[in-house]
Amino acid sequence: MRASDAALIERIVAKDETALAALYDRYAGMLLSVLNRIVRDKQAAEEILQDIFYQLWRTAPQFDASRGSLPGWLVVIGRNRAISLLRRHTPSQGEELLENTVVLPVNLERMAAQEQLFGRVKCALESLPKEQRAAVEFAYFEGMTHSEIARRTGDPLGTVKTRLRSALESLRRNLQLETA
C-alpha cells in the first residue's frame, strides 16, 4: 500500500531516508520539468531539484501537511528559485512566507493522477488564443509582470492585463478547478 505524503513527511521528521527517496520518486520528474522549462539548462535545474529535496529533509518538521499540499509547495518554491536564478534576484522573506501554504485543487500523490492532469493542463493551455497563451507563459515560466510583458510584446498594458485575466478565467473553466 502506498504511503500518503503526510505519512512520508512524518517518517522524514523521524530521519527515515527511504521516505525522502519515496517522495523524490513521486515528484522529482514533475518538479524537474518546470525547473528545466524555466532555466532551460538541465544541469542547473537538477541542482535546484537536489537543493529543494535537501531542504525538505532539513525542514520537514516545519511542514504542516494539514495546511497545504506538498507537491504545491515543491512547485511554488522550485519556480521561485528557478526564476530567481534566471533573473538574478533573491526572493524576499515576504515571498518565502507566502509560499508556506499552497492548497492544490487535486491530489497528485499517484503518478496516474499526475499523468492525467499533465494532459488536461497541456490541452487547456493549447486551447487558449495564441496571445493569451504567450502572456501566461511569459508570466509563469519567465516571471514577468504585466508591464514587463507589455514591454516584451509591444502591446498596451491594459491589453496585457485583460488578456491574462481572460486566460486565467478560461483555464479555470477548462480545467474545472474547484478547490477540494
Scan residues 12-51 and list those touching another protein (CB under 8 A): 15, 17, 20-21, 24-25, 28-34, 36-37, 42, 45-46, 49-50
Q: Does 2 bind another protein (CB under 8 A)?
A: no
Q: Does 157 bind another protein (CB under 8 A)?
A: yes
DSSP-derived 3-state class of residue 42 = helix
Write out the binding residues for another protein, residues 80-99 only, by CB under 8 A: 83, 89-95, 98-99
Q: Does 8 bind another protein (CB under 8 A)?
A: no
Q: Out of 22, 75, 81, 109, which residue is the one contacting another protein (CB under 8 A)?
A: 75
Q: How far apart are the first and last CA of the chain?
A: 23
User: What distance in Å separates the CA atoms of residue 179 and residue 30, rounded to the nearest whole number?
Assistant: 20
Residue 175 buriedness (CB in 10 A; 0-12 / 13-18 / 19+): middle
User: Residue 57 Cβ, how far from another protein at the closest point, in Å?
Assistant: 5
Residue 70 to residues 81, 137, 152, 174: CA-CA distances in angstroms?
16, 23, 34, 24
* Number of residues engaging another protein in binding (CB under 8 A): 84
User: Residue 27 Cβ, how far from another protein at the closest point, in Å?
Assistant: 10
User: Residue 1 Cβ, how far from another protein at the closest point, in Å?
Assistant: 23
- C-beta of residue 100 within 8 angstroms of C-beta of residue 65: no
Write out the binding residues for another protein, residues 118-147 only, by CB under 8 A: 118, 121-122, 125, 136-137, 139-141, 143-147
Residue 88 to residues 80, 134, 148, 165: CA-CA distances in angstroms?
11, 23, 16, 27
Q: Which is nearer to another protein, 3 or 100 (CB)?
A: 100
Q: To 10 degrees, the CA torsion angle through 112, 117, 123, 127?
A: 170
Q: Out of 104, 107, 134, 174, which residue is the one contacting another protein (CB under 8 A)?
A: 104
Q: Put residue 88 in one of left, alpha, beta given phi > 0 → left and psi -120 to 50 → alpha.
A: left
Residue span 53-72 as binding mask against another protein, x where in contact by CB under 8 A, dash where not: xx--xx---------xx-xx
